[in-house]
Amino acid sequence: MSPPVDRGPNLDATDFLGVDAELGAEERTVRDTVARLVNERVLPIIGECFESARFPQELIPAIGQLGLFGSSLRGHGCAGLNATSYGLICRELERGDSALRSLVSVQSSLCMHPIDAFGSEAQRQRWLPAMARGDVIGCFGLTEPHGGSDPASMRTIARRAGADWVLNGSKMWITNGPIAHVALVWAQTDEGVRGFLVERGSRGFTAQEVQHKFSLRASSTGALFFDEVRLPPESMLPQALGLAAPLSCLSHARLGICWGALGAAQACLAEALAHCAERVLFGRALVHTQAVQIRLAEMVRALAAAQLLALHLARRKERGELDPAQISLGKWNSCRVALDIARECRDLLGGAGISVEHVAIRHLLNLESVVTYEGTQTIHQLAVGRAVTGVAAF
């Protein structure tokens, strides 16, 4: 009997089920536009940025010009794209690096969205057009040093002083913190949790870069400190009252991560597949071995299922049918799948896999942050557990 004939690949490992064929014309245009930016501007520099812990600030104007900041909002200079397009933006950016998706997640879902949803018209007009262009960068301060999973325990306090507010406290692990022109800071007040727009340079407000990170090295992460910071009344978001306000912003950002993490997984899988096709050991390329094919097939299975789930969740959001616990499932699943794929791909590259000249180790290390922020895996498992039992076991 003659051996099976090699026919060459006929399906794409990074989109095995043809999920992208479900996209509409506008969605494909968004995908291709962001993919071009990543291929031409991000991939050539991102390894160096990661190695030297440098945030590529020079990319901000291009990201703004393409309309990627606040892309889901309507009006005030924003593109008004649907949830799937937002997911595609996140996926393509994170195929480059989680740092860029983080930049856009925070700016779009965690700063511009709350200003749009909870702000006054004057606040929208002041901030949104400049943020859409990338002239103003924001950050979102919810997490505090004593425990990010439980934001209800926040100790940052804003008290009234006449018409003004006075802010005291600190925030930790804040993406964009050191580079942001404005920080959206969540604080306890006599009325409940409220959000305040705190401008860089406000007396008593300092932001420090978090050093020694081995993850998201191309992202700027900060600690924020507030010492008797006096804020005018118009710094408060009038429609945001209670913890539901910041948590509802997380719902938008988590859907972006559900898509974004899969971009990192795609990059790792594409690299490992190419490596296994070329790497000759024991007289044949690695792809000719059953063990390697099974490992590749396992990754294709997990990625394809996660891609279908991400699209399903975005379509539910577009129909107004998405429950926060369903987003928890998607965020948890995509991060888990992407982390497992990145680690497996790192291993398939052998020793070369520990070098930042290949993408796997960079994505793997980044994904350790991605699985932690916006709610850890455990928090999302408990959110799903609560949804199906009716019992909050946090």
Active-site annotation, residues? 374
Indicate the pairing of strand 164-175 with strand 182-189: unpaired
Q: Taking contact as CB under 6 A, which single stretch among the options 115-123, 146-154, 193-201, 256-264 is the one that binds ligand FAD?
A: 146-154
Specify the 3-state DSSP secondary structure of 212: coil
Among ligand TGC, ligand FAD, none, partner that 372 touches (CB below 5 to 8 angstroms by kind) = ligand FAD
Q: Is there a contact between 260 and 94 (Cβ–Cβ < 8 Å)?
A: yes
Q: Taking contact as CB under 6 A, which single stretch among the options 37-45, 87-95, 145-153, 316-324 is the one that binds ligand FAD?
A: 145-153
If one asks whether residue 394 binds ligand FAD (CB under 6 A), the answer comes out as: yes
- Which residue, 14 or 369, has its beta carbon nearer to ligand FAD? 369
If one asks whether residue 247 binds ligand FAD (CB under 6 A), the answer comes out as: no
User: Tokens representing 265?
Assistant: 């997984």
If one asks whether residue 364 binds ligand FAD (CB under 6 A), the answer comes out as: no
- Which residue, 175 or 215, has its beta carbon nearer to ligand TGC? 175
- The backbone torsions φ and ψ at residue 139, rounded to the nearest 5 degrees and listed phi first, read -135, 165
Q: How far apart are CA 46 and CA 345, in angstroms?
A: 19
Residue type, 124: R
Q: How far apart are CA 208 and CA 214, in angstroms?
A: 17
Shortest CB 214 distance to ligand TGC, Å: 16
| Interaction mask 313-352, ligand TGC, x per CB under 6 A | -----------x----------------------------
Q: Which among 91, 75, 70 is positioned nearest to 28, based on CA atoms? A: 91
Residues between 203 and 222 with contacts to ligand FAD, criterion CB under 6 A: 216, 221
If one asks whether residue 152 binds ligand TGC (CB under 6 A), the answer comes out as: yes
Q: Which member of 87, 96, 119, 141 binds ligand FAD (CB under 6 A)?
A: 141
Residues between 77 and 96 with contacts to ligand FAD, criterion CB under 6 A: none
Q: Which member of 82, 84, 102, 215 binds ligand TGC (CB under 6 A)?
A: 102
- Which residue, 101 or 358, has its beta carbon nearer to ligand FAD? 101
The site for ligand TGC, by CB under 6 A, has a size of 28
- The backbone torsions φ and ψ at residue 127, rounded to the nearest 5 degrees and listed phi first, read -100, -40
If one asks whether residue 151 binds ligand TGC (CB under 6 A), the answer comes out as: yes
Q: Is there a contact between 53 and 210 (Cβ–Cβ < 8 Å)?
A: no
- The backbone torsions φ and ψ at residue 242, rounded to the nearest 5 degrees and listed phi first, read 100, 165
Residues between 127 and 146 with contacts to ligand TGC, criterion CB under 6 A: 140, 142-143
- Which residue, 166 or 379, has its beta carbon nearer to ligand TGC? 379
Q: Is there a contact between 324 and 349 (Cβ–Cβ < 8 Å)?
A: no
Query: Which residue of the chain is nearest ligand FAD when measured via CB?
Result: 148
Q: Give 142's Cβ-side CA count (13 Å radius).
A: 23
Q: Is there a contact between 109 and 249 (Cβ–Cβ < 8 Å)?
A: yes
Shortest CB 65 distance to ligand FAD, Å: 24
Q: Which among 118, 131, 170, 127 is positioned nearest to 148, based on CA atoms? A: 170
Q: How far apart are CA 54 and CA 50, in angstroms?
A: 6
Helix (H) or strand (E) holding 229: strand 221-231
If one asks whether residue 148 binds ligand FAD (CB under 6 A), the answer comes out as: yes
User: Please, what is the Cα angle at 72 between 29 and 248, to 5 degrees?
Assistant: 140
Q: Supply the DSSP symbol for 138.
A: E
* Nearby residues of 333 by Cβ (< 8 Å), 6 or more positions away: 258, 306, 309
- Which residue, 276 or 383, has its beta carbon nearer to ligand FAD? 383
Shortest CB 281 distance to ligand TGC, Å: 39
Among ligand FAD, ligand TGC, none, partner that 105 touches (CB below 5 to 8 angstroms by kind) = ligand TGC
Shortest CB 95 distance to ligand TGC, Å: 15
If one asks whether residue 147 binds ligand FAD (CB under 6 A), the answer comes out as: yes
Q: How far apart are CA 32 and CA 19, in angstroms?
A: 15
What's the alpha-carbon Rg for the chain, to the nearest Å?
22
Q: Taking contact as CB under 6 A, which single stretch among the options 99-107, 180-188, 204-212, 339-347 is the one that binds ligand TGC?
A: 99-107
Binding site for ligand TGC (CB under 6 A): 102, 105-106, 140, 142-143, 148-152, 175, 242-244, 247-248, 250-251, 253, 324, 373-375, 379, 383, 392, 394
